[in-house]
């Protein structure tokens, strides 16, 4: 598998199926959010057979914003905390605020890999939007704002729909 390409559907479906079964078995959990799944219409068809979906949020951002966000992302090698070179840098360049680990750019976030990820998205994931629009579950969310603004919109949207 080349860097930036998607994991096979059967593998991802099995992981999600196991995770949802554990959630269903836990009486303390009222619900869940799937982030980054389903990424293909085949995964969406599978999800329809194992779960009832209340709402699907589609965070709309321009390609320019997407590239800026992804290529600017930096990740702590030790604890996994995410930073952004412009919007949320560590206090000392290259050093994690939380654990002192090295803050680096992941292979997945390099510009050429980001371009591959966006092309994969356009081919395989964009049709998923149509899948949920057809089921009347899709809500478009403006994803261009700050993380706080987008988070507020997401919380309000979910509260209104669930
Ligand atoms: Zn760290």
Q: Please, what is the end-to-end C-alpha distance for the chain in angstroms?
A: 38
Give the Å distance between the CA of 75 and the centre of ligand 1.
Answer: 8
Query: How many alpha carbons lie under 13 Å from residue 21 in its C-beta half-sphere?
Result: 6
Angstrom distance (rounded) from CA 47 to CA 34: 11
Angle at 31 between CA 25 and CA 34, to 5 degrees: 105
**pLDDT in the model for residue 43:** 94
**pLDDT in the model for residue 6:** 64
Residues contacting 113, CB < 8 A, separation 6+: 3, 4, 107
**pLDDT in the model for residue 30:** 80
Give the Å distance between the CA of 35 and the centre of ligand 1.
Answer: 22
Query: In what helix (H) or strand (E) does residue 84 lie, and over which residues does it extend?
Result: strand 82-84
Give the Å distance between the CA of 111 and the centre of ligand 1.
Answer: 23
Class of domain 9-63+111-161: alpha beta
Give the Å distance between the CA of 73 and the centre of ligand 1.
Answer: 14
Domain ranges of the chain: 9-63+111-161
**Per-block mean pLDDT, blocks of 10 residues, the chain (162 long):** 68 94 88 89 95 93 93 97 95 98 96 92 91 95 92 92 81
């Amino acid at each position: 598998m080349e860097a930036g390409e998607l994991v096979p559907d059967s593998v991802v479906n099995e992981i999600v199926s196991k995770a949802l079964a554990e959630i269903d078995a836990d009486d303390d959990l009222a619900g869940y959010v799937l982030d980054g799944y389903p990424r293909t219409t085949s995964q969406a068809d599978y999800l329809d057979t194992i779960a009832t979906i209340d709402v699907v949020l589609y965070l709309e951002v321009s390609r320019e914003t997407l590239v800026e966000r992804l290529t600017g992302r930096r990740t702590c090698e030790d604890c996994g905390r995410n930073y952004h070179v412009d919007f949320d840098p560590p206090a000392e360049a290259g050093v994690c605020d939380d654990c002192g680990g090295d803050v680096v750019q992941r292979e997945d976030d390099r510009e050429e890999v980001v371009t591959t990820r966006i092309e994969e998205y356009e081919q395989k994931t964009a049709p998923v939007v149509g899948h949920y629009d057809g089921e009347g579950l899709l809500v478009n969310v403006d994803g261009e704002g700050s993380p706080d603004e987008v988070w507020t919109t997401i919380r309000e949207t979910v509260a209104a729909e669930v």
